[in-house]
Structure 1
């Protein structure tokens, strides 16, 4: 008796699943938004007063042990990572910047407790690997370690 009931239930379940599978559109694609690693220069940069930039000027420790430095010379803002060449940057929001050469973008979050958070997305140049193959240029994300 239990076998008959179980067989009937399994048969009904299979029928229901088949019916519901037929009603779902098969050509639908589900897009899952993710963190985009892109460096885009805005058509219209965010205007930032000299006084506002002073809150961001200085050196920041990065999660890879390197340092990000932001400075301003006249009306031009610059960013430098470690000993690499400087990049001219523009503000994209009240706390974010992007290099005009699309080599980096940075978001800096100043917290009430005095700590700094945020992230840096940068282009990592191509390099030669030990096996003779080349690893192409790619984007990497670095964080600001907490205090």
Structure 2
């Protein structure tokens, strides 16, 4: 499904001559092709699943967020803005991000469902969060929330 959205966005970018959309979608497709080839080498002939594609997109957003920070520290505001525009394009293909309040509710719900009672259950909680909320929650923030809820230092 995500692959079809990417193909349609590529066509849309060509028709509208939107260079940001076009270059970002091409970048995503190139990364996807590289990972598909690597997956085939590991015995996955069908390539990446949608969940794996979402994880790849989340990684791309994270990279660009880190780049924005570095560009702003270096006074390269035009490059930081270009990264922000790429993030906007990438997020078009990801599910809606949960707000901080919704993420907290999701973490508490998963903890309750798992019957987690302490930090020793952190792995189970994070696995369940990744399964249910892939691409919707920043897992680093969710981890900090879960740690706090389970009684550890945030």
Q: TM-score, normalised by structure 2?
A: 0.21
More strand by share: 1
- More relative contact order, 1 or 2 (CA 8 Å, 6+ apart): 2
Query: Which of the two has higher C-alpha Rg?
Result: 1
More helix by share: 2
Q: TM-score, normalised by structure 1?
A: 0.21
